[in-house]
Every structure is written in structure tokens, then in C-alpha cells.
Amino acid sequence: MPFLTLTLSESHRQRMLLCMVIFSCVSVFTSLGLLIVGAHIKLQVQEYVNIVDKDEGNAICIVLIATGLLSMANCIFGAKILTDCREIELRGRRKKFLLPYIASSLTLCILTLIAGIMCFAHVNSLHLSFRNGLTDAMQRYKSNLMLKAEIDRLQITYSCCGNKGYEDWFAISWVNENSINLESKGVEAYMGTGEFLQDNVPFSCCDPKSHRPCIHHNVQDNHKHYNYDYAAKTTLYTVGCKNALMMYFGDVLLVNAGRAVCSIFASMLCGVVGLRFLQTSIEEALLTGDAAATAPGYIIKASAKGAAGDGDREPSLEAGRISDDDGDMYESDFADAEESDREDRRLLEIANEPIYANVNEVELQ
């Protein structure tokens, strides 16, 4: 028994074929969108790859880019097949490509859904990666010039400071020893742990929107600065870089990418359903011998065995008395007839034996 049947005439099939051709052409651009989203995530994460705890974003990017490329090829192939199917003369030869096209479209549809789910699921892992990566990068700020430039660019670009806040720099010896006079009594006071630790932050933490010159040395010493109270207002960015990165990569980039990918999945799924109705209606029409005949389209069709089982069950209600009451009698009659035939053949074989043949000759004499 078909599931979700939709009866389609030839005019309906022609309109649906035209719509599916247009849909396939539009899907080329949505597939290109998947590729662009994957490449954009890759480039954005790669820009700060040195401050990420592990290589994040690669799995999402690979799935999105691969799905986008395959979907583009699949849509171009499908547009060609569907265009040919509009010609009744070509329909018989092209129908064999419809089912593989539906199968490939459904596979790519599932991959798109997986990519969309990965975008949402990746937000939590990215949060942990940024936290650990930023802490490690800040520890190497004074010894790695390339990393120093990357952190400064990050803090300026995202208007942030430190990992959770600017106080994180107070617990890190981020000033290179070549820039410190270790013999100075003022410096010795901050060398209690063997490292120079002071309430200083890099210049890149300075907020240009502040009205007064930036105070990034002795940040929490109000006595060293005129008309200054760090508890009330500072000249530094107060947002931590982890939260700033998550607001962009998590709440903006990945979440919006996930929504866009899931929307593409929904459109692809609608396309697969429409293709299935078309493919089954075309095949049913061809089975009648008239490709232009009105025929049903469906999503799933029950197996022939199950349908036959259901059909045999109804007549058995009327024939129940015969099969139940007289069945044993008919079976007994057939068995007796077969037994009688076997007995006749056995007697004939005995009669043809030589000893019996001689007896018959004597009797004749």
C-alpha cells in the first residue's frame, strides 16, 4: 500500500519538472553558500590559530566545503536529467537516473544536517579551546615576537584585554627581562616570586574611547595618577578576550552559520520529497505503457509480499468452510487416487515378469 500518495497527471508532472529544474539551478547557489560558509569559518579561525588550544574548525570546514562542492555537482547533474525528463520520448531512458539522483540528494541532505548540528555543538568546545589557548599564548607573550603581535592585534581588533579581564596580565610576567633593570630597588619589590609581576598591562589593552591618556602601568595604584580611581573607571578594555571571541565566533559566526545551514537542509529535504513523487509517478505511468498517463506518486510503497498476504487473507474468510471442513476430505481423496495408481503399476510389473508370462502361455495351450 503506497504511503502519502499524490495522483499526478502529465500536466502536473510537467509543472513539477519545471519547478524542480529551477530548484536545482537555485540549489547550485545555495551549495556555493555552504562552500563559502565553510571557507569563511576556516579563514577566521586560522587567523588566530596560535591562540587556540587545538586545531578547531577543521571538521566543520571540511564537511561544509565537501558538501557544498558535491551538492553543486549533484544539482547540475539533476537539472540536466530533469530537463530531459520533460521530453516524453527521452523519459524512458532517463528515468533510471532519477532514483540514484534522489539517493545522492538525500545523502547530501543528511550531510548538510550534520554540518548544521556541528556548528551549534562546536560552540562549547570552542569556548574551552579559546580559554586554554589564550592562557598559553599570554605566557609566551614576552618570548615570542610573532605571538606578541598576534595578541596585540587581537586585543585591539576585538576591544578586549586578557583572558577573562585585564587583571589576568597582573599574574603573568609579560615584560621581557631585557627591558627591566633587575638591580633597581623599585623592580626588586616586584620580583618576590622570581618573576616581574606588577599591575601593568600591554598597550594594546588601552581603550581609545577614554578621555584621558591611557594608564596601563600601575593600573590599580590610585596614588600614582592624578584624579584617578581604577574602581570607578579605567582607561582599559574591561571585556576579556575569551568572551569577545566567543561573542563573535560562537554567538555570531557559528550560530548564524548553523541556522543558515539548517535552512538549506530544510529546502534540500523539500526538494528530495518532490523528486520522489515525480520519480514514482513517472515509473507508474511507464508501467501502464503510456508515459503521459495519469499515475500516482508516493514516498514509500509496501512490498508485494505484504500486499499479497493481505489480499489472500480476505478470500479465506469466505472459503473458510471449504478449507476447514472439506480440506481433509479432498486431501484424502488425492492420497487414495495416488495409492491406487501405484498399486496398478506394481501389479502390471509383476504380470510382465517371466514366470507369470510362462504360466499364461501354458493356459493358452
Same domain? 127 vs 193: no
| pLDDT in the model for residue 276 | 92
**Does residue 14 sit within a domain?**
yes
Residue 361 C-alpha from the chain's centroid: 95
Same domain? 14 vs 116: yes
**Does residue 151 sit within a domain?**
no
pLDDT at residue 212 is higher than 70: yes
**Does residue 31 sit within a domain?**
yes
Range of the domain at 337: 306-364
Comparing 64-78, 125-139, 145-159, the range with the smallest average pLDDT is: 125-139
Of 207, 201, 149, the C-alpha closest to 175 is 201
Where helices occur in the chain by DSSP H, the ranges are 10-47, 58-85, 88-94, 98-139, 145-157, 185-188, 241-245, 255-287, 304-313, 315-318, 320-321, 327-351, 354-364
**Does residue 333 sit within a domain?**
yes
For the segment 21-49, the average pLDDT, to the nearest whole number, is 88
Same domain? 171 vs 102: no
Same domain? 125 vs 96: yes
The grid coordinates listed for 97 are 537516473
**Does residue 293 sit within a domain?**
yes
**Confidence grade of residue 105 (pLDDT, cut at 50, 70, 90):** very high
Single out the residue in 221, 238, 255 at which a domain terminates.
Answer: 238
Same domain? 125 vs 30: yes
Collapsing DSSP states into helix, strand and coil, what is residue 170?
Answer: helix
Sign of CA dihedral 107, 112, 117, 119: positive
Same domain? 124 vs 253: yes
Q: CA–CA separation, 74 vs 104, rounded Å?
A: 7
pLDDT at residue 252 is higher than 80: yes
Same domain? 62 vs 128: yes
Collapsing DSSP states into helix, strand and coil, what is residue 202?
Answer: coil
**Does residue 288 sit within a domain?**
yes
- What contacts 162, CB < 8 A, 6 or more positions away? 138, 168, 169, 201, 205, 240, 241
Comparing 154-163, 181-190, 274-283, the range with the smallest average pLDDT is: 181-190
Of 118, 356, 123, 72, the C-alpha closest to 251 is 123
Higher pLDDT, 99 or 350: 99
Same domain? 265 vs 221: no
Report, in angstroms and rounded to the nearest whole number, the Rg of the chain calculated over CA atoms. 41
**Does residue 155 sit within a domain?**
no
**Confidence grade of residue 43 (pLDDT, cut at 50, 70, 90):** confident
φ, ψ at 296 (rounded to 5°): -80, 145
Same domain? 46 vs 71: yes
Single out the residue in 238, 261, 288 at which a domain terminates.
Answer: 238
pLDDT in tens, 145-184: 888 999 999 999 999 999 999 999 998 988 887 777 666 6
The grid coordinates listed for 350 are 509383476
Comparing 55-64, 151-160, 186-195, 224-233, the range with the smallest average pLDDT is: 186-195
Same domain? 327 vs 249: no
Same domain? 106 vs 23: yes
Q: pTM for the whole thing?
A: 0.69
pLDDT in tens, 328-337: 444 455 455 5
Same domain? 17 vs 97: yes
The grid coordinates listed for 348 are 502390471
DSSP designation for 97: G
Between 255-287 and 10-47, two packed helices, what is the crossing angle to 10 degrees? Answer: 150
Single out the residue in 218, 238, 258 at which a domain terminates.
Answer: 238
**Does residue 143 sit within a domain?**
no
**Confidence grade of residue 5 (pLDDT, cut at 50, 70, 90):** confident
Please state the domain count of the chain: 3
Residue corresponding to grid cell 560558509: 37
